Chain A
Amino acid sequence: MKKVDVAIIGGGPAGLAAAIGAKRRGIENIIIIEREANLGGILNQCIHNGFGLHTFSEELTGPEYASRYIDEIKKEGIPFLLDTTVLDVTPDKKIIAVNSSGLIELEAKAVILAMGCRERPRGALNIPGTRPAGIYTAGTAQKFVNIDGYLPGKEAVILGSGDIGLIMARRLTLEGAKVKAVIELMPYSGGLKRNIVQCLDDYGIPLKLSHTITEIKGNERVTGVTVSKVDEKLLPIPGTEEYIPCDTILLSVGLIPENELSKNAGAMLSNITGGPTVNESLQTSTEGVFACGNVLHVHDLVDFVSEESMRAGESAALYVLGEQAATQAAIKLEPAGGVRYTVPSTIDPGNIKDKIDIRFRVGNVYKNKYIAAYFDGQLELRRKRLVMAPGEMETISFPKEVFDKYPGTGTITMTIEG
């Protein structure tokens, strides 16, 4: 069985940055295991621009952003396996992977989970109707159009106004299909304002908020959808049905962290994010197993994925080198009042270098409210936000000194108030 110091599962933006993070902290014996034929993960199909503003202060497309990291991996000489699927990761960090040359068995000192996420399929929505050809998740359609250069249909309706759905509305339109409408269940879009303007408004594509698809029609190919308005409980309102003929339906209805391997590794998962619960070092409940990127929680911006994953790589390196601080009593982070979850969910102040970023999402749209943090009931931080929305990840940073102010803290409560 081959031994490695750090094994990274997934060669997308998270895995690449994690590898660089581990390398910079002095780890030589690293391996990245990637399922596809190329490094870069989902970025390869995200050919639109808008990546990298935080990291590189310039606006890049997905493949360009990926290439910056891939170049770095190659320059650093970090080994990677392509076309190789990991079948199992055990709690004692043994990995079984497969490719066309056989089974690969590895024993790692640290494992970094960086498998990303997958899309919610139609089944998860239980949309009634027939099961014809022409129904795709937005990401599948993105692969068809951007990687292979084929359009899935001529007339599309898109369900869900998350960023992938919006981006695909523009892509299909530019390449010669007609997008009839984007349908959104919630009274607000889950996508960036910029995408609503530049992907829908620019091309006159209607966005129907508080609507959903209530029936799919067509026996062979999709022939149309029935769209209905929904009430405050998100239930369709009878009598509001509208029929929209189309031959294609794209679903952009949410992403689910892909954690089948994390479960094998014994990592405890959060019911809210679907990803592992991690501490300040991005370590899961299994010692020496770390998680970062969309497998941990779904991000909006790849820049944050890179930053988080770099830290995961550094933490894994410290763990391997035995340089992690002796564990103090961990502080529990408790989401409350509109904060749905936090990453991390526990903090050991001994392992904070200069500051720690707490990332979280809110459960609703809030205007002119405050994010507050209470250390065992004592208000430490209260910061105003003009607007917060479920589609936008929030970040609060605590400098290391804050923890010195509250020695022995048991719980930090994060909440929305005001």
Chain B
Amino acid sequence: MNVKEGIIIYDVAIIGAGVIGCSVARELSRFNIKTIALEKGPDVSVGASRANSGIVHGGYDAKPGTLKAKYNVLGQQMFERLSSELDFPFKRNGSLVVAFGKDGLPELERLMAQGETNGLKNLSIIYKDGLLQMEPNLNSNVYAALVVPEGGITSPYEMAIAVAENATSNGVVFKFNCEATNISKINGVFSIETTGGVFESHLIINAAGLYSDSINNMLSSHKLKIIPRRGEYCLFDKTESSLVTHTIFQLPTDMGKGILVTPTADGNLLVGPTSNDINDKSDISTTAAGLSEVLSKGSLSVGKLNKSKIITSFSGLRAHLGYDDFIVGEAPDVPGLINLCGIESPGLTSAPAIAAEVADIVSKRLNQAENPNFNPVRKGIPYFRLMNNEERKAAIKENPDYGNIVCRCESVTKAEILQALRSPLGTSSMDSIKRRTRMGMGRCQGSFCSMRALGIIAEELGVDITEVTKFGKGTNFLNERNKESL
């Protein structure tokens, strides 16, 4: 690490703290590398990593020989270890790719062969009777399915938070509300101007997701273009999660893997996504047409979807490049700019493998030794809802706030909210607390607990209640005291 006129020159600046940027940050923290992660949003995982299917893909879908195939299969195998080291939810529930007629069989066979080429060993095809035994709520017109035991589910934002917290405790600096506006390279050092100050580094990891084209284009003459591909989802009440145990795919199309029906790692049922290329990278609105497509296509797999059990709908944007693969590597004309672009599905699954590869490239380039103090373990907030009664008694004895339930739908206690507020990344918006505790994520969607949560947050931060936000500047819950405008 060099110090120049009082400004720290970081070895590495990661631009973008989604699941990719955070995973890279953690892998770099295994080495003696001074790393800063710059994020334009108010928290980690607020872009594509917040709103996606949360699927750990087996790896049958990507074309053999592509980076997608490589990192998918490698990444998928890393999840057991990662989730146990970092304490985030992961379950290898298995995926099924369902065909509804005999004419779909050749495609299932092709996917199976492709998966085997990619290195999957346990694929099989199962026919109607066996399939319905496995998943009795599938529609009875199913014909056969590809069984992918390697498929799994995780919570994308809980994973990103876990990885980022571990990276922080191993020395990575995270800066929020820092949108890169201009980058130049002077005497071999990158100068990154952001909305939150200027930062300098020797290397840049471009993990800016939807905006990774702009970051690249600030420096490279090899221009990239990311097309935001929007996916809309409906999330169902926990009462519906037992409709299926596997992740149910339909046969894929040119636009992606189609509408899936899956239990989530947190115990809800998720249906989606649609797939539409749009122009506006900030447009995460849902549409009437999209939501109705989610339901109609989801019903093709599971007819029993009960619309009245939807608790929320949302959309996310995938960072789609013009062609069908990731970019992982140095920009040809900008030494030191390592691009991680077009990381759409299976990006979440690939994140651990991509991060390991980047750390390998960077540590060799910087010739840095391993960090002897690296601690791979991160403990998450102990969740009241996941404790048994003996654990609950002990937790309350230790900390009486564990007996104070704030969010009744998800049984989130004041103790958990305070721990989230005091977590190492230091984020304090309502949505940040929500993603760390599940407060307000249940069937009432925060109607009961918002006021109490606002009070707890304001008290802990020592601010007026009107200053508490939903997700950063301009998103305050309360406007003013009664009668102030009279």
Co-assembled chains A and B: yes
Contacts of B465 in A (CB 8 A): 148, 150
Q: Please indicate which of the listed interface residues A98, A101, A177 has the most CB atoms of chain B within 10 Å of its own CB.
A: A98
Asked whether B397 lies within 8 Å of A151 as measured between CB atoms, the reply is no
Secondary structure at the A interface, as helix, strand, loop or mixed, is: mixed
293-349 of chain A: CB within 8 A of chain B: none
- A18 to B473 CA separation, bound complex (whole angstroms): 47
B314 near A: Cβ within 8 Å?
yes
A29 near B: Cβ within 8 Å?
no
Task: List the B residue with the shortest CB-CB distance to A143.
Answer: B451
Asked whether A124 lies within 8 Å of B308 as measured between CB atoms, the reply is yes
B393 near A: Cβ within 8 Å?
yes
- A145 to B285 CA separation, bound complex (whole angstroms): 29
Contacts of A119 in B (CB 8 A): 444, 447
B396 near A: Cβ within 8 Å?
yes
Task: List the B residue with the shortest CB-CB distance to A37.
Answer: B452
Q: Which of A129-137, A200-208, A365-373 contacts B (4 or more CB under 8 A)?
A: A129-137
Number of interface residues of A (CB under 8 A): 50
Contacts of B471 in A (CB 8 A): 133, 220
User: How many whole Å from A88's CB to the nearest CB in chain B?
Assistant: 9
B466 near A: Cβ within 8 Å?
yes
- A216 to B313 CA separation, bound complex (whole angstroms): 13
Q: B396: which of A100, A129, A130, A216 is its contact (CB, 8 Å)?
A: A100
444-482 of chain B: CB within 8 A of chain A: 444-448, 450-451, 455, 465-466, 469-482
Contacts of B475 in A (CB 8 A): 132-133, 220-221
B288 near A: Cβ within 8 Å?
yes
Asked whether A103 lies within 8 Å of B393 as measured between CB atoms, the reply is yes
Contacts of A148 in B (CB 8 A): 451, 455, 465
75-120 of chain A: CB within 8 A of chain B: 83, 85, 87, 96, 98-103, 118-119
- A83 to B411 CA separation, bound complex (whole angstroms): 14
B486 near A: Cβ within 8 Å?
yes
User: How many whole Å from A198's CB to the nearest CB in chain B?
Assistant: 20
Asked whether A121 lies within 8 Å of B314 as measured between CB atoms, the reply is no
Asked whether B486 lies within 8 Å of A176 as measured between CB atoms, the reply is yes
Q: Please indicate which of the listed interface residues A123, A140, A214 has the most CB atoms of chain B within 10 Å of its own CB.
A: A123
Asked whether A124 lies within 8 Å of B311 as measured between CB atoms, the reply is yes
B389 near A: Cβ within 8 Å?
yes
B256 near A: Cβ within 8 Å?
no
Asked whether B393 lies within 8 Å of A102 as measured between CB atoms, the reply is yes
- A119 to B445 CA separation, bound complex (whole angstroms): 10
Q: A121: which of B282, B312, B473 is its contact (CB, 8 Å)?
A: B312
- A176 to B450 CA separation, bound complex (whole angstroms): 22
User: How many whole Å from A372's CB to the nearest CB in chain B?
Assistant: 30
B287 near A: Cβ within 8 Å?
yes
- A250 to B57 CA separation, bound complex (whole angstroms): 40
A197 near B: Cβ within 8 Å?
no
B138 near A: Cβ within 8 Å?
no
- A147 to B469 CA separation, bound complex (whole angstroms): 20
Contacts of B313 in A (CB 8 A): 123, 126
Asked whether B311 lies within 8 Å of A123 as measured between CB atoms, the reply is yes
A145-B287 CB under 8 A given contacts A35-B405, A133-B476? no
Contacts of B411 in A (CB 8 A): 85, 87
Asked whether A35 lies within 8 Å of B476 as measured between CB atoms, the reply is no
Contacts of A126 in B (CB 8 A): 234, 286, 291, 307, 310, 313
Asked whether A102 lies within 8 Å of B403 as measured between CB atoms, the reply is yes
B404 near A: Cβ within 8 Å?
yes
- A360 to B286 CA separation, bound complex (whole angstroms): 37
Q: A35: which of B235, B312, B408, B484 is its contact (CB, 8 Å)?
A: B408
Asked whether A176 lies within 8 Å of B389 as measured between CB atoms, the reply is no
User: How many whole Å from A224's CB to the nearest CB in chain B?
Assistant: 13
Contacts of A100 in B (CB 8 A): 396, 400-404
A151-B480 CB under 8 A given contacts A103-B389, A176-B486? yes
A152 near B: Cβ within 8 Å?
yes
- A99 to B400 CA separation, bound complex (whole angstroms): 8
Q: A150: which of B234, B405, B479 is its contact (CB, 8 Å)?
A: B479
User: How many whole Å from B134's CB to the nearest CB in chain A?
Assistant: 27
Contacts of B455 in A (CB 8 A): 148
User: How many whole Å from B397's CB to the nearest CB in chain A?
Assistant: 7
User: How many whole Å from B146's CB to the nearest CB in chain A?
Assistant: 31
Instruction: List 18 other contacts, CB 8 Å, given A100-B403, A124-B308, A131-B285.
Output: A96-B389, A103-B403, A121-B312, A126-B234, A128-B286, A148-B465, A149-B481, A149-B482, A150-B480, A150-B481, A151-B482, A151-B485, A152-B477, A154-B479, A175-B483, A175-B486, A220-B471, A236-B288
27 A-B contacts (beta carbon < 8 Å)? A35-B408, A100-B402, A101-B400, A103-B393, A119-B447, A121-B311, A121-B446, A123-B235, A123-B311, A123-B312, A126-B313, A128-B285, A128-B286, A130-B284, A133-B471, A133-B477, A139-B447, A143-B451, A147-B451, A149-B481, A150-B482, A151-B478, A151-B479, A151-B485, A154-B485, A175-B482, A176-B485
